[in-house]
Amino acid sequence: MSWITESNRMKHFGYAIPCALVFTILFVAGLAAGMEFKDRAHGGAWDWLDLLATLLGGLVGQIIQAFILFLIWKGGAV
C-alpha cells in the first residue's frame, strides 16, 4: 500500500475523516470529485488514487460516526 504515501494522499485521507464524521461519506464523495475536478481544471490530471484515498478516509469517519451514534442510542455515551 505504498500508493497512499505518495503525493499528498495522506492529506486527502486525513481531511476526509472529520468531514465524514460531521456529515456523511456521500458528502466526502462530493468533496473528492470536486477536488479532482479542480486539479484537472487547473492543468493537472484526474487522479483516481487521490479520490480513493479521500473515500477511504470518509469510510473511516463514517464508521466512527456510526459508532458514536450507536453509543448514544444505547445510552452508553458520556
- Give the pLDDT band of residue 53 (cuts 50, 70, 90): very high
Q: What are the sequence ranges of the domains in the chain?
A: 2-74
Q: Cell numbers at residue 38, please?
A: 479542480
Once rounded to an integer, what is the mean pLDDT over residues 70-77? 80
Whole-prediction pTM value? 0.86
Taking the C-alpha atoms of residue 78 and residue 71, their distance in angstroms, rounded to an integer, is 9
DSSP letter for each residue of the chain: -GGGGSTTHHHHHHHHHHHHHHS-HHHHHHHHHHHHHHHHHTT----HHHHHHHHHHHHHHHHHHHHHHHHHHHT---
Regarding predicted confidence, which is higher, 4 or 70? 70
